[in-house]
């Protein structure tokens, strides 16, 4: 049975995981992607982010700050998540595989968990990486992107989860028996 595809979900996966890949590469290429680095140009727009979120700060990187090191670990964990998103797009749109919803659900779940983790880390460390900003900047420049990723992850999980449940129900012994009884 070919999976349902959702244009909005596919576009969200392409956009969000494209941004996630760009971010992960930036982090993993440090110091070359930092200001003054030989590969800075694609990440020149990070000047603001490096101020807003101290985990991206050049000084924290060179000081070996634990939060900066942790950011590299998060970027590494992001790579399989991106791989799942790419696999979902391939399975859903090219192979039309029934495994696509499970793979897409897994990618969206990983993204949601990371959003929750990053938010809890900020709360538990007393807003140690973004707390130097105004409340407005924290909300608009850190909170809104986090909420966007979390919301679209939950919507993706909902739609793909319903699709998986429908497929499981369709082939369940109870449903097959009901259909046979209706035919007789």
Residue 139 above 90 pLDDT? yes
| DSSP conformational letter for 95 | I
pLDDT, mean of residues 94-113: 97
Q: What are phi and psi of 147, to 5 degrees?
A: -65, -35
Q: How confident is the model at residue 146 (pLDDT cuts 50, 70, 90)?
A: very high
37: left (phi over 0), alpha (psi -120 to 50) or beta: beta
Residue 184 above 80 pLDDT? no
Give the pLDDT of residue 135: 96
Residue 10 above 80 pLDDT? yes
Tokens 């880390």 belong to residue: 121
pTM exceeding the 0.85 threshold for the entire prediction = yes
**Residue of 149, 163, 118 whose CA lies nearest to 12:** 149
Retrieve residue 113's tokens. 């968990």
């Amino acid at each position: 049975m070919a999976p349902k595809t959702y244009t909005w979900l596919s576009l969200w996966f392409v956009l969000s995981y494209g941004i996630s890949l760009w971010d992960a590469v930036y982090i993993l290429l440090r110091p070359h992607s930092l200001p003054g680095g030989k590969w800075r140009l694609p990440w020149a727009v990070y000047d603001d982010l490096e101020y807003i979120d101290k985990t991206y700060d050049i000084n924290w990187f060179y000081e070996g700050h634990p939060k900066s090191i942790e950011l590299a670990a998060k970027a590494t964990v992001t790579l399989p998540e991106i791989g799942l998103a790419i696999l979902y797009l391939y399975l859903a749109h090219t192979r039309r595989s029934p495994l696509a919803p499970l793979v897409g659900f897994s990618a969206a779940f990983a993204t949601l968990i990371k959003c929750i983790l990053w938010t809890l880390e900020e709360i538990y460390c007393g807003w140690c990486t973004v707390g130097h900003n105004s409340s407005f900047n924290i909300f608009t420049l850190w909170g809104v992107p986090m909420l966007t990723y979390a919301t679209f992850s939950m919507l993706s999980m909902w739609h793909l989860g319903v699709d998986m449940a429908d497929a499981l129900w369709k082939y369940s012994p109870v449903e097959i028996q009901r259909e046979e009884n209706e035919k007789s």
